[in-house]
A = this chain, B = another copy of it.
Amino acid sequence: MQQKVVVVGAGLCGTLLALRLAQRGFQVEVYERRADMRKTNMSAGRSINLALSDRGMRGLRLAGLESDILPLIIPMLGRKIYPREGNAQFMPYSGRDDEWINSVSRGGLNVLLLDKAEGTGKIAFYFETECLDVDFAHKSMRVRSAQTKEVRVVDADVFFGTDGAGSAIRQTMLSESARLRFNFSLQYLTTGYKELEIPAGQGRTFQLDKNALHIWPRHGFMIIALPNLDGSFTVTLFLQIAGNPGFESLRSDTEIRHFFTEYFPDLTELMPDVLADFRANPTSSLGTVKCYPWQVNGTFLLLGDAAHAIVPFYGQGMNASFEDVVVLDGLIDKFGPAWAKVFDEFQTVRKVDADAIADLAVENENEMRDATADPVFQLKRKIELQLEQNYPDYFSKYSLVTFREDITYHDAMVKGRKQDDILMAYARAAQSMENVDLKDVLQRLKALQ
């Protein structure tokens, strides 16, 4: 256990990993490009709240943080859908009472992890120290201090690359791709996003239901809102970058105001600063990173977004990263710090699941943005909810992916897709709930197995 272990990146995944490795007795050094977020006011420049669900919770539990997280999270029991015309509709995530997802502040969670990691006394943090590149043969990396601009070489026995979607370690793999036969793919959606805000009401009250993820689906684009502890909601507009409507066609104040009042009149009343926010906040892209192998020489391993950055439409990015830590931890249990074996097994086991949630996330844009406003899809969800209420063994695709941390993403995807095909066809034929025979549906679904 006298090995020197380096973690690159003190984001959510890297800090949880460092904490867990320290708990296992390793001496860990963590290098982070940004400043210590506990000492500065900066946001991480990323979406400021996230959906935490069972797979992520399992990672926190592994590190003993199950109760620490409770004050930081707001349960979201379902989607509240605001159609362009007609009344809002609440659609629970599950027909079971104990299945929901949680809104959590990225910053708040990261600070908790940093505090707990530091509390072990076994982790040295080097903030504002950027990993420039790595040297696979010499088991080292070059880092540069933001303050002194000094570049130095860090040696270690093993390096974990949790440095996010723009990973420097992955970049080195790519620059040596022919030798490593490193496969890499980066695919952007035509959709971009921009963050906005619904401020808290008088006395920190919530201006919408606190315990829901709110969606305004508008066929081709949408707005979503997640609750924050302070009574505000983080609002995200997902919209084509080109096209009309599209971010590039929203230029003048008039165009921007008209877009919101035309498509989101009630919501816009809750966002007095929408125009200023729209101008001030960047329009960001949404991309999927896939790559393989994730490890080099049994010495360098990518985890989290560095290995598999995904789009946010399944709310699983952080959860998948935390699950990486759980899977890795299990392999250390099994093989000890025989890193070559651990890393090889990790990538073999985990790649298929990372690909699955990446693909599910891309597909789910359509579900959130368009299908939630579609009567057939709404009926399908009602059938699923009744199935889940009446048959505890039944789990929808969403439930398999989100609440069943004992089932891999890949298995959840395969089973869930088959179920969806059957249920959508059934809902299309049935047209309304009164024509649905739940037992008949269940038998069709059971025939799948």
- Which residues from chain A sit less than 8 Å from chain B, CB to CB? 174, 177-179, 181-188, 190, 241, 284-285, 287
Contacts and interface: CB of A to CB of B under 8 A. Distances in A.
B185 A187 contact: yes
Taking the full assembly, how many copies of this chain does it contain?
Answer: 2
A284 B178 CA distance: 8
Nearest to A187: B183
Contacts of A178: 188, 284-285, 287
Contacts of A181: 188, 190, 241, 285, 287
A184 B182 contact: no
A336 to B, nearest CB: 25
A91 to B, nearest CB: 32
B185 A185 contact: yes
A178 B184 CA distance: 16
A165 to B, nearest CB: 9
Contacts of A188: 177-178, 181-183
Contacts of A287: 177-178, 181
Closest 8 CB pairs of A and B: A181-B188, A185-B185, A178-B285, A184-B186, A183-B187, A181-B285, A183-B188, A177-B186
A183 B186 CA distance: 6
A309 B36 CA distance: 43
A184 B183 contact: no
A287 B186 CA distance: 16
20 contacts: A174-B186, A177-B186, A177-B188, A177-B287, A178-B284, A178-B285, A178-B287, A181-B190, A181-B241, A181-B285, A181-B287, A182-B186, A183-B186, A183-B187, A183-B188, A184-B184, A184-B185, A184-B186, A185-B186, A185-B187
A253 to B, nearest CB: 24
Contacts of A285: 178-179, 181
A148 B179 CA distance: 30
